[in-house]
Amino acid sequence: MNTCFHIEEGALTFKRRYETVRIEGWGKHGLRVRSTENHTFTQENWALSENVPHTASVWTEDRMTRWNYTQHIAVIENGDIRAEMTEDGRIRFLNKNGKVLLKEHYRSMGHGNDFGGYSDSVFNGHYYARKYRTVGGDNYRITLQFDGCEEEKIYGMGQYQQTNLNLKGSMLELRQINTQATVPFYVSNQGYGFLMNNPAIGKVCFGENYTEWQFESTKQLDYWITAGDTPAQIEYRYSAVTGRAPMMPEYAMGFWQCKLRYQTQEELLSVARGYYERGIPLDIIVVDFFHWTKMGEWKFDPQFWPDPEGMVRELKEMGIRLVVSVWPTVDMKSENMPYMTDHDMLVRVNRGMNRQTECMNIAQFADMTNPDTREFVWDIIKKNYLDKGVSQFWLDVAEPEFNTPDHDIYRYYKGEALEVGNAYPSDYAKMFYDGMKAAGREDVVSLVRCAWAGSQKYGALAWSGDVQSTFLTFRRQVVAGLNMGMAGIPWWNADIGGFFNGDVRDPYFHELLMRWFAFGAFSPVMRLHGDRNPHDKPILISSGGKECAPTGADNEVWSFGPEVEKVLRKFIDLRYRMRPYIADCMRQAHESGAPVMRPLFYNFPDDKKCWDVADAYLFGSDVLVAPVFEEGARARTLYLPKGTAWVDANSGSRYEGGQTVTVPAPVDVLPLFVRENAPVLDMIRS
């Protein structure tokens, strides 16, 4: 046997010169691949944290190549996925039918990219897929290349502010920032799913000629791959190894109200009373940022929020729950700064001034990758919020949002930010999930501004960040939500109406808000939020003379005039009529990893046209939603997937699938089609 290969306990190890590669079964129908030029692998499983089988069949065999050369290869097989590795270290993946799904990119001066070419005992004249360049210590700048496939279409990878749902031809930055969430799992129309199980900062290019992953500083490559006959099967297998979302509580499926920002307890209660007295359904109202004394003290400012328990009691009497915004920032003058500094609970800086962020005041970030930090911060949050009746939490600035976004400056408990930075949002969500569970709460829902692979199992409800109030931005959010779902994050939403520059007096914004609100009714969570113009509200002054954070104009459904209010109320009522259907969608996400918002191909993979539709989607399995993205448009053209008949939920007209139709879309109408005979049609039309 070639000494490069070593087989033990269902795993294949390849050792040649500096490099070690390990391939092993991970879950049913999955393979995990790690490679490094260090002597050992790290002990981190990152997103692959679920307790799953690690079995596979492994063997070696000899094959005759077309160059009349007998080549020794190793094979590892786990259900529907197989990997083959040559004695010079090249890897390719095949499905149960022998179709090549993905193959490492390799060039030879002699024979090109032929998997069965000559064995190479020296590297001269050969170009290998895995390349390492030391950057100091045990870390490397690593690139990995796979051959491209002209027919391939790629979906997932989290949320990026663009309109192309199919990511083939895209270059994506692997970095968490406001409005961008890196979740490095994708589904290919070639029949496989791929997770880059590495939280390092980098980029990926899904080129026509090849796919290249690049990391600036990391100890190893680590990825997982599965095969599947359908996107649904691939998502099921992926969520089995990374975890599935909990069952969303019923109240979180209703309507959420928030704005930037309610300045006082009485202001918030007056808004809640406004909904209650008008008979407008409302399940959740949110206290946004700077309700606190100082960042990093995690408690209500008693001057403006004098009786949190009483506030919660009154809200409860109206059937409304309270959600509170929490930041991971610690003001330099916070009462907790000395203790957290002395106990190494803050993100470190490698050089320069320790001035990590500034919003009203200079602050540093709590290091949520440190379990001691999570325990310390949670104890404060539990005492000051949860024990006072707060229902859930909004985890803002979750990237975290450094003023200087150069990750080589920062260092976490788990390692350099360049190496581990993308996983910060998952540990942030984990703190709340573990804390709530320990407190006996099973209904964990944390609104988070960023997510990474596996965040879904911690009850992470991702939102798309502080986006602009434009029709183009609106369209981008639909694509973002669909790719987040395909990346394994089924709970997602966007600020209805966008966050920045929406003017409550502007007819353009009124139209945008009505269109966006209709989409919100068919999002996993329906949440109205935004920093509205004009900014003419006086800023409150604390008793100590400190100016508090500003706020924008009113942002309640009655704040935009009676005509707009009528449309918004229509879609809130529709949302509540559909709650049994929405609950079933959430149950599917919990049990199988299925996205709530889905591209058309998810349920219709055999219809080739569905793989190219980026401006409409399925809400669950039975409702086709076609938002209107153009100002002034009063009609909508869309494609109906073949394989079923569809009923226009607005007109009642029946259409056979497999055709493109144009339907009326006045400003108070969202084009909706329902599978024929699906019970949800009666909920929509009642």
Question: Above 80 in pLDDT, residue 575?
Answer: yes
Q: Is 622 a catalytic residue?
A: no
> For residue 3, what pLDDT is reported?
72
> For residue 121, what pLDDT is reported?
34
Q: Which member of 84, 288, 301, 399 is catalytic?
A: 399
- Inside any domain, residue 423: no
Question: Above 80 in pLDDT, residue 65?
Answer: no
Percent of the chain with pLDDT over 70: 97
- Inside any domain, residue 406: no
Question: Above 60 in pLDDT, residue 2?
Answer: no
pLDDT digits (tens, 9 = 90+) for 500-556: 999 999 999 999 999 999 999 999 999 999 999 999 999 998 887 777 899 999 999
Q: Which member of 24, 87, 88, 396 is catalytic?
A: 396
Domain boundary among 185, 215, 242: 242
CB 222 within 8 A of CB 32: yes
The helix (H) or strand (E) run that includes residue 132 is strand 130-136
Q: What amino acid is encoded at 664 in this protein?
A: P
**Residue 481 and residue 618 in one domain:** no
Question: Above 60 in pLDDT, residue 114?
Answer: no
- Inside any domain, residue 483: yes
Question: Above 80 in pLDDT, residue 595?
Answer: yes
CB 670 within 8 A of CB 521: yes
The token pair that represents 335 in the structure block:
């009462």
**Residue 474 and residue 541 in one domain:** yes
Question: Could you tell me the CA-to-CA distances from 649 to 229, 652, 653 in Å, in that order?
Answer: 31, 6, 8
**Residue 229 and residue 178 in one domain:** yes
- What beta strand segments (E) does 219-338 contain? 221-227, 255-257, 284-287, 321-326, 329-331
Average pLDDT over residues 400-421: 96
- Inside any domain, residue 358: no
Backbone φ and ψ of 23, nearest 5°: -120, 130
Question: Above 70 in pLDDT, residue 107?
Answer: yes
Query: Shortest CA distance to 625 belongs to which of 614, 633, 634?
Result: 614
> For residue 175, what pLDDT is reported?
98
Place of tokens 């003379």: 545
We report the CATH number of the domain holding residue 233 as 2.60.40.1760
**Residue 360 confidence class, pLDDT cut points 50, 70, 90:** confident
**Residue 141 confidence class, pLDDT cut points 50, 70, 90:** very high
> For residue 477, what pLDDT is reported?
98
Output 307 or 122, whichever has higher pLDDT. 307
**Residue 170 and residue 307 in one domain:** no
**Residue 574 and residue 542 in one domain:** yes
- Inside any domain, residue 491: yes
Percent of the chain with pLDDT over 90: 91
Average pLDDT over residues 113-117: 47
Residues 6+ apart with CB under 8 A from 109: 125, 126
Q: How many domains does the chain have?
A: 3
Residues 6+ apart with CB under 8 A from 74: 5, 7, 12, 14, 58, 59, 60, 84, 85
Alpha carbon distance 6, 599 (integer Å): 42
**Residue 443 and residue 550 in one domain:** yes
**Residue 92 and residue 225 in one domain:** yes
- Inside any domain, residue 413: no
Q: What amino acid is encoded at 536 in this protein?
A: D
**Residue 67 confidence class, pLDDT cut points 50, 70, 90:** low
pLDDT digits (tens, 9 = 90+) for 239-277: 999 999 999 999 999 999 999 999 999 999 999 999 999
* DSSP summary character for residue 50: S
**Residue 279 and residue 294 in one domain:** yes
Domain boundary among 529, 557, 592: 592
**Residue 115 confidence class, pLDDT cut points 50, 70, 90:** low
Domain with 146, as residue range(s), is 5-242
* Residue 100 burial (C-beta neighbours within 10 Å; 0-12, 13-18, 19+): middle
Question: Above 90 in pLDDT, residue 657?
Answer: yes
Question: Above 70 in pLDDT, residue 119?
Answer: no
Q: Is 229 a catalytic residue?
A: no
Question: Above 90 in pLDDT, residue 109?
Answer: no
- Helices 507-521 and 471-486 pack at an angle, to 10 degrees, of 20
Domain boundary among 592, 627, 652: 592
Query: Shortest CA distance to 187 belongs to which of 237, 234, 240?
Result: 234
- Inside any domain, residue 76: yes
**Residue 390 and residue 481 in one domain:** yes
Question: Above 80 in pLDDT, residue 112?
Answer: no
Residues 6+ apart with CB under 8 A from 378: 431, 432, 434, 435
Alpha carbon distance 42, 219 (integer Å): 8
**Residue 194 and residue 45 in one domain:** yes
Give the full edge-to-edge strand order of the sheet including 91-95: 57-64, 70-78, 81-86, 91-95, 100-103
Q: Is 682 a catalytic residue?
A: no
pLDDT digits (tens, 9 = 90+) for 611-632: 999 999 999 999 999 999 999 9
> For residue 123, what pLDDT is reported?
45
Question: Above 70 in pLDDT, residue 122?
Answer: no
Length of the chain: 686
**Residue 585 and residue 607 in one domain:** no
pLDDT digits (tens, 9 = 90+) for 70-95: 789 999 999 999 999 999 899 999 99
Q: Which member of 466, 495, 607, 622 is catalytic?
A: 466
**Residue 85 and residue 184 in one domain:** yes
> For residue 600, what pLDDT is reported?
98
We report the CATH number of the domain holding residue 639 as 2.60.40.1180
Alpha carbon distance 366, 364 (integer Å): 7
DSSP 172-196: EEE--BTTBEEEEEEEETTTEEEEE
- Inside any domain, residue 429: no
**Residue 69 confidence class, pLDDT cut points 50, 70, 90:** confident
- What beta strand segments (E) does 404-483 contain? 410-412, 415-416, 446-448, 460-463
What's the chain's average pLDDT?
95
We report the CATH number of the domain holding residue 506 as 3.20.20.80
Q: pTM here?
A: 0.96
> For residue 126, what pLDDT is reported?
61
Question: Above 80 in pLDDT, residue 111?
Answer: no
pLDDT digits (tens, 9 = 90+) for 298-334: 999 999 999 999 999 999 999 999 999 999 999 999 9
